[in-house]
Structure 1
Amino acid sequence: MSQKFLYAFFIIIVTSLNVSAQKKPLKVGIIGLTHTHVHGILGRENLGDIQIVGIVEPNRGLAQRYSKEHKFPMSIVFNTIEEMIDKTHPEAVTAFGTIYQHLEVVEACAPKGIHVMVEKPLAVSLEHAKKMEMLAKKHNIHLLTNYETTWYPSNYKAYDLLKKDKVGDLRKVIIRDGHKGPKKIGVNSEFLEWLTDPVQNGGGAIIDFGCYGANLMTWIMEGKKPNSVTAITQQLQPENNPNVDDESTIILTYDNANALIQGSWNWPIGRKDMEIYGLNGAIYADNKNNLRVRIADGYDGYKEESYQIKELEAPRNDPFSFLAAVVRNEITLKPYELSSLENNMIVMEILDAALKSAKTKRTIEINK
């Protein structure tokens, strides 16, 4: 066997080993099971991109229930974050507890270099968010925020059409999110307990669904902060949500545009949709896969195009595939994209101003 052949064989083996190493699943820990979005990671198909190595949940009854449902062993369930990290050494964690606990998760994980993905919104308050941001930057970890609408291909199509001047210069965006309310849609008791708690969730519908619009609008505006925030909240279901608002309207103003964000627990039909208005027409992202464009024709006439948008390509079609790709440096986050820390710090600034506006009944100016 020639030396040249042996060298070539050696290169093939080394390359194969490197590829194999790169394809090792990301070791992920789950912190908390009380947020029912956790079913998204527990029940997902095994794509080989992540491996759940540990779960933190002190509520043993809840953990056992989900263990039976999703077939994970109780041996990987721990009572504390520290114990889970010490025993399983995750590379990243996903937070599915209360929004108030997000800071605690980052405080425990960032100093150990463990990356974090939290469910929306980033934090329970702007004060918590600033502490989380400081820790993430100090310890050089990724701190991502997961929104359902981040994985909607219709939103990306709408963004692309707007940036390509399909409807002219942007003037107005209307974003509507929500459902009938947590109790009415039947969320489990563990989730309902904190979702309707002003401390653990930071508020009601204004936090739970107002954050979607703030996130999308910050992305559309490429990180530009609004000039002002005006908000009103109401409690239309006191029997179901006695301690928090269940109806919210947030108005954002920019130099040449404005946004109306309607986050509500009073919609008769659940929705997550967006309307973008330019000088020459409008874009309607009606749901995850359907989009319409209307180009103005005369006073009230229009020509309409309809689109059926296919799913996003992997790994941008799934939050946990996306997390693995970001941690593995297969994806570089763009400035102010939907999951980014930069975007979600502005979201928290908007939500903080919205809460102050609703409480004081006045418009809040944003410092640039």
Structure 2
Amino acid sequence: MLPRGLCAFWSARPKPLARIIALALIGLVACEGEEPRRQRAMDFEFPEESESPVYLAEETLTEGRQEWPIRPAVSIDTDYDSSELVTVHRFVYRHRTRFPPILGPGLPSFAQAPKELRVDVSKDRIRVTFLGPDWPVPGGSEVRMQAGRPSAYVFDGEGGRSVGVGQLAAWYEGAPPPGSPGFGLRVDEEPGLQEHMPLFCRFLAEWARASLDNWGRRCESGAPRFFRIGRTQATLTAHVPMKIPRRYLRADHLDPPEPLLHDPARVLVEEEILERLVPTVPAEDVDEETLPATLYIENRARGRSLVVIEGLQVAVLEEGASVTLRGLQHGRYRIGALRAFGARRSIPLMHRVPGELIIE
């Protein structure tokens, strides 16, 4: 506190040097009886409080050197996280793709590995498993869905992740399809199954990129005995009602299947099978001791491509993948590239082997 004498000294108008000294002292202290001047506080506007988003850590399964990332689902399926038994209907379908006859007759004495679609459905959950090596997606891939949530959760060679509404067809094709490939079905009416069918029909609609408005009521009247998507068709071979623990049908990322192999270029037949394919136009003047020819194929098209040679599906190529087929004879073959649902990417042409094929 400054003594009263200093305040009186200031009032007496001292010399300039003395005034400077007094100013320095007044800047440090205040005269007795005077309140120090307080700096006015600033008014801040705070945003309304909101919950911070919670990001779950990504789980990774490792098998050898292969990483299999599993991204958390949007929500945890707590309703199906128990051992309580629930009634489930299992439908098994034999699935095949009808290749255009212009691509060739195939090998009459050779039967490719069958493809099966296994559908386990309760009143409010469904799990679909793609069994067999010849699917466009890796064998063992899964689709999980639940009533009340429009999205789905899938497992494939790239791991596990959620897919949005209407994205199931794009997941299967490897890219958004140009439109609906076409859909049809035949149903055996069974009133006892009606409460289990809405979710099954929703899966078919999203897989085929079709609308439920036209055929939803007919689909929900019973079990689909046969259905067609594009040039692919599925025929019911088994229907088994059973009771299983609820957690078996959970629709999130927990309890995943075994890690699936991610191979961008899958060759579906052995070299000895390729040797049996007869070219439409065999090469002339080829020595019997000449080694089998090779065919290099690269998929530059958007999405997956199925490679068919003389009516036989020989490979599945992801977008940007390539493969070299060994064992073919010298000559010209009918070779076609198809989308996952069987639509042709281009007009089938005769291709010379040895050589290369670029899919665009």
- Larger proportion of helix: 1
**Band of TM-score, shorter chain:** under 0.3
TM-score normalized by structure 1? 0.21
TM-score normalized by structure 2? 0.22
- Larger proportion of strand: 2
